[in-house]
Chains A and B, each alone.
Chain A
């Protein structure tokens, strides 16, 4: 969101195959082989030809069915897995060319990750789990403790510093994972279904907290979720994956309004479009006089205008941008279609 120009992570044509000799197999792979063909050859194409760019301060949400390769893609971006082909560039460095030392340095200073099943160290207390990355960095004890306590407070676990992971509920464990990943103040933050184990109330709280943090800290974030609502609340862009392929990666409005593939269309079918689409996407040329009417904001969702659209019978409403300048009109007909579906 910040400036949108500087690319933090970019990956080009990344492949990740699981199997006995992935590199050798990849070299011989016939073009046009799809996921099932590859599986019949004894390999799993967890990520296929993925290309993405994430700019500074942007939040990219990855969605897709279970087993579609989301976690694998994120592991490729953090080089927890060696990619089979392609390249991943993080802040200008080719990730796979980094030496072990440089990679460790990068992780110690720039990257944080929250794991799907928490990955907490069972023999360490909450406090020591959160302080673990700092300890690896060689920070001294007192500072470590101070910072870890701050993080624990941030995720609302104050008072449980001395608990062991197995003494916590799933949601609490997940929050420890979040606190740990934040301890080193990473610039790049990978979150693999970080809120999946939380109850709706805390989940919402965490999302708010998350947005607030993002507003202040402006991290570059890759976020995996199964929950479309969550994606809509958080995402700058959404990438939808199927069988290892990124089917579409775009702004939420575009995904809903112009699905690139039938699969994406099906994936977004159930979603209430009016909650996603912003007025700016429906702006049209005015055909009549609109001067008198009260304008609507371009950044509002169509859903938020529902009441007005029903009570106000005028065919066109003026649309203004952030500065208050009129940029066009919203046609009542198209807005209602979006709200209640096309007339059959």
Chain B
């Protein structure tokens, strides 16, 4: 390890010097703030360009002058028609085909059968049980409102992503054009997507569906491209030699051979859809998300927990089912297996469904459970929570006061105090130290753009909240990961928890913190910390556990004690992986800070909420891009560092 460090340091001494000089300049600028002219402290007026107005102008032009609004209206009408169909089937909205609502028993049985087909009994229990819980707790209508949008949005997002991915695979220029768009899209906060959709389509379920489609398609594009690139050339060639034309080659050879990646893409699309559908409550999307939002704002913890459990169950179910689908390979039946054996599951499903419909005919409870008939445990939850809060209150009160007074406000003030030129120089210097002149310029561009938007102070507040949260996450996640990685079973368990927690829509994380801290800054940061802890812990464990055993053994043979081995051998080797985790933590935190805005923060997120409620596209997009630039800056720095580190260590 020591030699690797030496090599990597020796190879570019010049760059380090230049970078360090620039950092030094930054420090000098910061220390000499009191003699700096005002224009070097805050971005001066001439530097702030009216991007928002330009974007608004552009949108107006596209919308009205180019008549694009008719295109989007037509598209929205198509989506609305589909939504009406699913809404009718799932919760009986009075639209064509007017068959619904389907009895809840039928849907639960179907879900259980799908679970069984994909991965046996456990998954059948999970998927069936989820629907039973939802029905019994009287949340059927809300859950179906949410699901009816996912059922429409996910397939469209998959299809759109697949087609874009194929186009990108076929034409280099499409890939080149898409790449930066996808990068920004992935670090753009959810709300930034919503505002343009509201402008073009308005509020309600159909805009919820459309924003979901737009939000969920990017990972599908990525995975399709990856999968198609990975198809071995020999498989494609064997297709060509079989006389397949281009169309046949694509759809019968290449796409099916990229099955695994495409299915992973579908899994990601479904999870993104769920995350977005819940959040789309901000633009008037009814369903579980909206209920949760209302209940949280009214501080009705017991009811929120009930809804939260449903959302979590749905998330786990969708994730597990789509993951099982990824690994489910086709299997053959032995010769001579009779027809009814081959189609056993289908027959069973048909039989049980008939039973469900029959039962629904005669037993209203098997058809729909009304809210008045539903079970509920919110009173019990509320009493438990109240007791707990009474116990915890002194601690949380103190913690809240302490944090706000002694940590958060001073930290915020320091951040705000920094002259923007010092920040620019500092970031450029870091970029140069970690990467090269190119990195320095990229970092400079990101921060410079933020300064030019005129949202400098807000961006600084966002940065301060994220950096505080990330520091806490590192302080908790790293030791947690190290502890968990020490035993195989423990590591597996913690990884499982992390994987599961990662599938939850971010909204869920607000429930416990609101319960503990109420609606304020500390709660927001608490949610960010919980949310960001997941990737940090996960990648720490994965990094430490993936250290090659030979190296471990070699260290043992050198007589290294556990601590020595951890800090001198395993940790340096795991660091590039941990860095990737840190990167995700930062991105997650940024998203969460923005989402948490509605429980009271004063950063970019709050402004974004305002832009959303006044449907100011320009402002919303500019704010979104500010967030994206912070994310991309960190992303660039960490990934560059980690890539160099991996090369230096000879692992890839």
A residues neighboring B (CB under 8 Å): 75, 78, 80, 100, 104-105, 107-108, 111-113, 115-125, 132-133, 136-137, 159, 162-164, 166-167, 177, 180-181, 184
Whether the pair B241, A107 counts as a contact (CB closer than 8 A) is yes
Question: When chains A and B are docked, how far (Å) is the Cα of A330 from the Cα of B235?
Answer: 52
Instruction: Write the nearest CB–CB distance from B238 to chain A, whole angstroms.
Output: 3
Instruction: Write the nearest CB–CB distance from A2 to chain B, whole angstroms.
Output: 24
Instruction: Write the nearest CB–CB distance from A114 to chain B, whole angstroms.
Output: 9
Instruction: Write the nearest CB–CB distance from A150 to chain B, whole angstroms.
Output: 17
Q: Is B64 in the interface zone, CB < 8 Å from A?
A: no
12 sampled A-B residue pairs with Cβ under 8 A: A104-B243, A107-B242, A117-B234, A119-B235, A122-B256, A124-B256, A136-B243, A136-B248, A159-B335, A164-B330, A166-B329, A177-B238
Whether the pair B259, A123 counts as a contact (CB closer than 8 A) is yes
Instruction: Write the nearest CB–CB distance from B284 to chain A, whole angstroms.
Output: 42
Given A136-B242, A167-B332: A117 in contact with B253 (beta carbons within 8 A): no
Most chain B CB within a 10 A radius of its CB, from A125, A162, A166 = A162
Residues in B whose Cβ lies below 8 Å from that of A120? 235, 238
Instruction: Write the nearest CB–CB distance from A105 to chain B, whole angstroms.
Output: 8
Whether the pair B238, A123 counts as a contact (CB closer than 8 A) is no
Q: Is B45 in the interface zone, CB < 8 Å from A?
A: no
Residues in B whose Cβ lies below 8 Å from that of A162? 332-333, 335
Q: Is B244 in the interface zone, CB < 8 Å from A?
A: yes
Instruction: Write the nearest CB–CB distance from B81 to chain A, whole angstroms.
Output: 33
> A133-B243, A180-B242 given. 5 additional CB < 8 A pairs?
A113-B237, A117-B234, A122-B257, A124-B256, A163-B332
- Selected contact of B242 from candidates A100, A117, A133, A164, CB within 8 Å: A133
Instruction: Write the nearest CB–CB distance from B485 to chain A, whole angstroms.
Output: 33
- Selected contact of B243 from candidates A108, A121, A125, A159, CB within 8 Å: A108
Q: Is B399 in the interface zone, CB < 8 Å from A?
A: no
Q: Is B31 in the interface zone, CB < 8 Å from A?
A: no
- Selected contact of A117 from candidates B232, B256, B331, CB within 8 Å: B232
Whether the pair A115, B333 counts as a contact (CB closer than 8 A) is no
Residues in B whose Cβ lies below 8 Å from that of A136? 242-245, 248
Instruction: Write the nearest CB–CB distance from B17 to chain A, whole angstroms.
Output: 33
Instruction: Write the nearest CB–CB distance from B333 to chain A, whole angstroms.
Output: 7
Tier of interface size on chain B: 20 to 34
Residues in B whose Cβ lies below 8 Å from that of A181? 241
Nearest 10 interchain pairs by C-beta:
A119-B238, A108-B243, A133-B242, A162-B332, A119-B234, A123-B256, A113-B241, A107-B243, A136-B243, A136-B244
Q: Is B518 in the interface zone, CB < 8 Å from A?
A: no
Whether the pair A80, B242 counts as a contact (CB closer than 8 A) is no
Whether the pair A112, B241 counts as a contact (CB closer than 8 A) is yes
Residues in A whose Cβ lies below 8 Å from that of B330? 123, 164
Given A75-B237, A121-B235: A137 in contact with B332 (beta carbons within 8 A): no
Instruction: Write the nearest CB–CB distance from B227 to chain A, whole angstroms.
Output: 12
Residues in A whose Cβ lies below 8 Å from that of B235? 119-122
Instruction: Write the nearest CB–CB distance from A77 to chain B, whole angstroms.
Output: 12
The residue in chain A whose Cβ has the minimal distance to the Cβ of B243 is A108
Residues in A whose Cβ lies below 8 Å from that of B392? none
The residue in chain A whose Cβ has the minimal distance to the Cβ of B332 is A162
The residue in chain B whose Cβ has the minimal distance to the Cβ of A181 is B241
Instruction: Write the nearest CB–CB distance from A141 to chain B, whole angstroms.
Output: 15
Whether the pair B242, A132 counts as a contact (CB closer than 8 A) is yes
Whether the pair B238, A113 counts as a contact (CB closer than 8 A) is yes
Interface string of B226-253 (1 = CB under 8 A from A): 0000001011011111111110100011
Given A116-B234, A159-B335: A137 in contact with B243 (beta carbons within 8 A): yes
Chain B contacts with A in 358-381, Cβ cutoff 8 A:
none
Whether the pair A121, B329 counts as a contact (CB closer than 8 A) is no
Most chain B CB within a 10 A radius of its CB, from A111, A119, A123, A132 = A119
The residue in chain B whose Cβ has the minimal distance to the Cβ of A166 is B329
Question: When chains A and B are docked, how far (Å) is the Cα of A181 from the Cα of B253?
Answer: 16
Residues in B whose Cβ lies below 8 Å from that of A122? 235, 256-257, 259
Residues in A whose Cβ lies below 8 Å from that of B257? 121-123
Question: When chains A and B are docked, how far (Å) is the Cα of A133 from the Cα of B253?
Answer: 12
Most chain A CB within a 10 A radius of its CB, from B239, B241, B248 = B241
Whether the pair A121, B256 counts as a contact (CB closer than 8 A) is yes
Instruction: Write the nearest CB–CB distance from A162 to chain B, whole angstroms.
Output: 4
Question: When chains A and B are docked, how far (Å) is the Cα of A45 from the Cα of B242?
Answer: 28
Interface string of B299-335 (1 = CB under 8 A from A): 0000000000000000000000000000001111101
Residues in B whose Cβ lies below 8 Å from that of A132? 239, 242, 252
Question: When chains A and B are docked, how far (Å) is the Cα of A166 from the Cα of B332?
Answer: 11
Question: When chains A and B are docked, how far (Å) is the Cα of A105 from the Cα of B245?
Answer: 10
Residues in A whose Cβ lies below 8 Å from that of B332? 125, 162-164, 167
Instruction: Write the nearest CB–CB distance from A283 to chain B, whole angstroms.
Output: 43
Question: When chains A and B are docked, how far (Å) is the Cα of A159 from the Cα of B245?
Answer: 31
Residues in B whose Cβ lies below 8 Å from that of A123? 256-257, 259, 330
Chain B contacts with A in 248-275, Cβ cutoff 8 A:
248, 252-253, 256-257, 259
Residues in B whose Cβ lies below 8 Å from that of A107? 240-243
Instruction: Write the nearest CB–CB distance from A16 to chain B, whole angstroms.
Output: 15
The residue in chain A whose Cβ has the minimal distance to the Cβ of B234 is A119
Residues in B whose Cβ lies below 8 Å from that of A177? 238
Residues in B whose Cβ lies below 8 Å from that of A164? 329-332
Instruction: Write the nearest CB–CB distance from B244 to chain A, whole angstroms.
Output: 5
Question: When chains A and B are docked, how far (Å) is the Cα of A80 from the Cα of B234?
Answer: 10
Question: When chains A and B are docked, how far (Å) is the Cα of A117 from the Cα of B240?
Answer: 15
Question: When chains A and B are docked, how far (Å) is the Cα of A159 from the Cα of B234?
Answer: 27
Residues in A whose Cβ lies below 8 Å from that of B246? 100
Question: When chains A and B are docked, how far (Å) is the Cα of A75 from the Cα of B240?
Answer: 11
Given A159-B335, A162-B333, A162-B335: A121 in contact with B253 (beta carbons within 8 A): yes
Whether the pair A104, B237 counts as a contact (CB closer than 8 A) is no
Residues in B whose Cβ lies below 8 Å from that of A112? 241
Residues in B whose Cβ lies below 8 Å from that of A166? 329
Whether the pair A121, B248 counts as a contact (CB closer than 8 A) is no
- Selected contact of A80 from candidates B240, B259, B329, CB within 8 Å: B240
Given A119-B234, A122-B259, A164-B329: A78 in contact with B241 (beta carbons within 8 A): yes
Question: When chains A and B are docked, how far (Å) is the Cα of A30 from the Cα of B242?
Answer: 39
